[in-house]
Amino acid sequence: MRVAATKGKTGWLVLAAALFLLARDVRAADPQSPPRPEPPRYRVPYQLTDTKHILVRARLNGKGPFHLVLDTGAPALFVSTESARKHGLDSGADGWAELDKLEIEGGPVLEKVKARIETPFQVSGMNAMGLPGIRLDGMLGYSVLAHFRIELDLSKPHMIWTRLDWTPPPPKAIFAEGQAPTELAAMGSLVRLLQFFVQKRPEPIYVQRGFCGIEVEEVEGAVVVRQVLPDSPAWQAGIRPGDRLRQFEGKEVSSLSELHALATEHGTKREVTLEVERGQEKVCLTLRWGKGL
């Protein structure tokens, strides 16, 4: 009799637990609960330098563009002393500057970012020899990159950055007095010495890209407009979400790589012509570039 009572109690406990789990599942599926918003996603264009470093462009406090190498081994955002001086970025006595705004080409924006005003030996060495094919202004390191999940496919002209709901810890100095070890710093000096014996490449000519203001995706062999920024050059030209880009300056467009190549080729023009497909209708538009990076 005592054993039977124990089994009965266990059965009631199991039943109660099942009912509790069912109720919890029903509440979780409650249609009244608001859906979680999708985190912001950005298409960040990049280029490979001649040394195969990944380079992005950014504005610091509205100034620039700065050419920054993506470096997962760097603890923070580094800006070379020369570039900081050129653009009027001042650092404190500790060698750090707090930026009001960091704007990365493609859309990501961070506020109140600490930047180390210092020329890493890797940057000074490569600039001295002209190895990257473009002058480097610094490195984009952990304290910035950790704000995002980054998807990189080197066969495509852009990365996908997704904003994370997480704030990385502030950067800390890992070397005495904020300086690199003597052995590493000497490498930069050695490369600068070598430039006297090896012909340096000519300085590149910088060309600003035009700003358009659209987000596009490749769907079944067509480039489709997902979003258009209000009051952007694209919006003023008449481009709308859902439009399919068919021609750019009279050339057919069927992939994101083709669109990127044409935009790069014609980005210095004041205006370009587009043909979009809207439903069953073909619409010819004129886009006047805005000021980009």
Question: Domains (ranges, CATH) in the chain?
Answer: 41-194 (2.40.70.10), 210-291 (2.30.42.10)
Determine the straight-line distance between the first and last CA of the chain, rounded to whole angstroms: 83
What's the pLDDT band for 26 if we cut at 50, 70, 90? very low
Q: Are the CB atoms for 114 and 96 separated by under 8 Å?
A: yes
Tokens (6 digits) for 289: 């570039």
SS3 22: helix
- Who contacts 28 (Cβ-Cβ below 8 Å, separation ≥6)? none
| Mean pLDDT, rounded, for 87-96 | 86
Q: Calculate ∠ Cα 118-123-126, nearest 5°.
A: 155
Q: What per-residue confidence (pLDDT) applies to 1?
A: 40
**pLDDT, tens digit, 9 for 90 and up, residues 95-133:** 899 999 999 998 899 999 999 998 887 788 778 777 777
Q: What letter does residue 132 receive in the DSSP assignment? A: T
Residue 79 reports pLDDT greater than 90 = yes
Q: Are the CB atoms for 138 and 201 separated by under 8 Å?
A: no
Residue type for 165, please? Answer: D
How many Cα atoms within 13 Å fall on the side-chain side of residue 195?
16
Residue 178 reports pLDDT greater than 60 = no
Q: What is the rounded distance in angstroms from the CA atom of residue 271 to the CA atom of residue 269?
A: 5
Global pTM exceeds 0.85: no
Q: What per-residue confidence (pLDDT) applies to 17?
A: 46
Average pLDDT, the chain: 78
User: Which residue bears the tokens 């050419």?
Assistant: 67
| Mean pLDDT, rounded, for 3-19 | 45
Q: What is the rounded distance in angstroms from the CA atom of residue 100 to the CA atom of residue 93?
A: 18
Question: CA distances (Å), 111 to each of 5, 87, 89, in order?
Answer: 65, 18, 15
User: Which H or E run contains 184?
Assistant: helix 182-194
**pLDDT, tens digit, 9 for 90 and up, residues 192-229:** 554 554 555 555 555 555 678 888 888 888 899 988 88
User: Which H or E run contains 6?
Assistant: helix 2-28
| Sequence-ordered strand ranges (E) for the chain | 41-45, 47-48, 54-60, 63-70, 77-79, 96-104, 109-117, 138-140, 148-151, 158-163, 210-211, 214-219, 222-228, 244-248, 251-252, 271-278, 281-288, 290-291
Query: CB 84: neighbour CB atoms within 10 A?
Result: 24
Share of the chain above pLDDT 70, in %: 73
Query: CB 31: neighbour CB atoms within 10 A?
Result: 5
